[in-house]
């Protein structure tokens, strides 16, 4: 393998166990990404930050494997589109959110996502819920606008005015941002990039050498560094005050931020390839569908899905570090090795070409 060829992250065999599809978990810097239903089951990627309780979900297929405890910590759900296998876990999620009090969960998706979610909520009789129903803020993301709808079980939906988009960012958080592009699958589909902030490491040996005990001041230091306020003063355990810039130079190592990209359900067209290549450029972790093998190219084209070869070519063109191919057709359940072999051959042959 050469330096520019992505490493393929594979699910272990057997792909199906007595409890369901074999899940696939991948660490990437400060996050852990968990493909809940493996590479054959419904798309559902759970992303957990090591430093925080909150989780993000990408797609919401069958969610039965996620506990209520996990679903209580979800702050944002990024849907690619509303085909059944990408949204059917919403009712399980809705039920989990009926006990306890949480801030509204944000859900993003292509145009009409708020209608789809609203219709799923309205399929339930809410006569006993009064004001205690779960709440969702849903963003219909089009090329030029984001339109938020405020949905609360048992209450009429409120649709807000469309907000013009100035860039491709849909979610901005102090520790990460999420960008998206629209792809064509016969209907609009969104692909997402999660960019997370640089990792700030405190050198324990240098801390000991300066006789500084760890404490809340380190949390303050990291926060001020993330905010870029290097002139601020931090109070140290010994009572002295020191400038953030000086503490950074003495104690801190900053690892560059990483990028995780999630893309599934789109046709192999030049425009889709160009948009995704740009979104996934230099990604550390690229979750990309590889639904069909080359022998089933006709089905791939008819259903507007990728072949393993197209997946490999996009990953190479985007120069990603690690490729996690998934959303394989169930026709390959008993020969997953053949799909991975085709991906590896495609990576090698394209690179040599």
Among residues 152, 80, 142, the alpha carbon closest in space to that of 118 is found at 152
Bridge pairing between strands 169-173 and 199-202: unpaired
Neighbours of 152 (CB within 10 A): 19
- For Zn ion, the closer of residues 219 and 271 by Cβ is 271
CB of 265 vs Zn ion, minimal distance in Å = 4
Q: Toward Zn ion, which CB reaches closer, 83 or 322?
A: 83
Task: Give the nearest distance from C-beta 83 to Zn ion in angstroms.
Answer: 4
Question: The tokens of 287 are what?
Answer: 């979750």
Question: Counting Cβ atoms within 10 Å, is residue 49 exposed (0-12), middle (13-18) or buried (19+)?
Answer: middle
**CB 85: neighbour CB atoms within 10 A?**
18
Select 168 or 265, whichever has its Cβ closest to Zn ion. Answer: 265
Minimum CB separation of residue 183 from Zn ion in Å reads 11
Q: Which stretch binds Zn ion (CB under 5 A): 191-199, 200-208, 261-269, 287-295?
A: 261-269
Q: Which of 68, 83, 223, 319 binds Zn ion (CB under 5 A)?
A: 83
Strand partners, 178: 171, 194
Q: Write the DSSP symbol of residue 168.
A: S
From the list 91-99, 133-141, 262-270, 330-338, the region that binds Zn ion by CB under 5 A is: 262-270
Q: Which of residues 146-205 bind Zn ion (CB under 5 A)?
A: none
* 83 or 248: CB nearest Zn ion: 83
Give the integer Cα–Cα distance in Å for 319 and 313. Answer: 10
Are the beta carbons of 72 and 57 closer than 8 angstroms?
no
Which DSSP string corresponds to 2-53?
Answer: -TTSPEEP-PPSPSEETTEEPPEEEEETTEEEEETTTTTS---EEEEETT-S
Judged by beta carbon, residue 45 or residue 200, the one nearer Zn ion is 45
User: Does position 46 bind Zn ion by CB under 5 A?
Assistant: no
Q: Which of 76, 168, 242, 265 binds Zn ion (CB under 5 A)?
A: 265
Q: How far is the CB of 111 from Zn ion (least distance, A)?
A: 15
Task: With CA atoms as reference, report the closest residue to 280 among 331, 254, 316, 307.
Answer: 316
The residue range among 78-86, 244-252, 282-290, 345-353 that interacts with Zn ion, by the rule CB under 5 A, is: 78-86
Residue whose C-beta lies closest to Zn ion: 83
Q: How far is the CB of 84 from Zn ion (least distance, A)?
A: 8
CA distances to 27, 30, 146, 181 from 259, rounded to whole Å, are 12, 11, 23, 15
Nearer to Zn ion, 5 or 307 (CB): 307
User: Which range in 53-61, 136-144, 224-232, 257-265 contacts Zn ion by CB under 5 A?
Assistant: 257-265
Cβ distance to Zn ion smaller for residue 83 or 159: 83
Residues in the site for Zn ion, rule: CB under 5 A? 83, 265
């Amino acid at each position: 393998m050469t330096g520019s060829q992505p490493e393929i992250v594979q699910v272990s065999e057997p792909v199906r166990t007595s409890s369901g599809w074999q899940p696939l978990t991948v660490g990437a810097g400060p996050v852990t990404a968990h493909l809940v239903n493996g590479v054959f089951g419904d798309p559902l990627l759970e992303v957990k930050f090591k430093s925080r309780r909150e989780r993000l979900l990408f797609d919401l297929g069958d969610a039965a494997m996620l506990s209520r405890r996990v679903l209580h910590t979800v702050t944002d759900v990024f849907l690619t589109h509303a085909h059944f296998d990408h949204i059917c876990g919403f009712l399980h999620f809705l039920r989990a959110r009926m006990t306890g009090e949480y801030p509204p969960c944000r859900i993003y998706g292509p145009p009409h996502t708020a209608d789809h979610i609203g219709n799923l909520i309205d399929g339930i009789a809410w006569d006993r819920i009064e004001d205690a129903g779960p709440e969702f803020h849903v963003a219909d993301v089009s090329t030029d606008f984001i339109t938020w709808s405020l949905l609360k079980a048992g209450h009429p939906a409120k649709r807000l005015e469309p907000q013009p988009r100035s860039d491709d960012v849909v979610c901005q958080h102090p520790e990460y941002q999420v960008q998206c592009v629209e792809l064509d699958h016969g209907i609009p589909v969104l692909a997402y990039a999660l960019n997370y902030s640089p990792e700030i490491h405190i050198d324990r040996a240098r801390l000991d050498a300066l006789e500084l005990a760890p404490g809340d001041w380190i949390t303050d230091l990291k926060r001020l560094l993330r905010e870029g306020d290097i002139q601020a003063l931090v109070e140290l355990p010994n009572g002295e005050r020191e400038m953030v810039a000086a503490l950074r130079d003495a104690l801190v190592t900053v690892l560059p931020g990483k990028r995780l990209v999630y893309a599934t359900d789109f046709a192999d067209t030049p425009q889709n390839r160009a948009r995704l290549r740009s979104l996934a450029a230099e990604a550390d972790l690229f979750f990309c569908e590889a639904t069909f093998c080359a022998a089933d190219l006709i089905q791939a084209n008819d259903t507007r899905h990728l072949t393993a070869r197209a997946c490999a070519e996009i990953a190479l063109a985007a120069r990603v570090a690690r490729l996690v191919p998934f959303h394989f057709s169930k026709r390959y359940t008993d020969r997953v090795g053949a799909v991975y072999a085709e991906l590896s051959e495609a990576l090698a042959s394209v690179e040599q070409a």
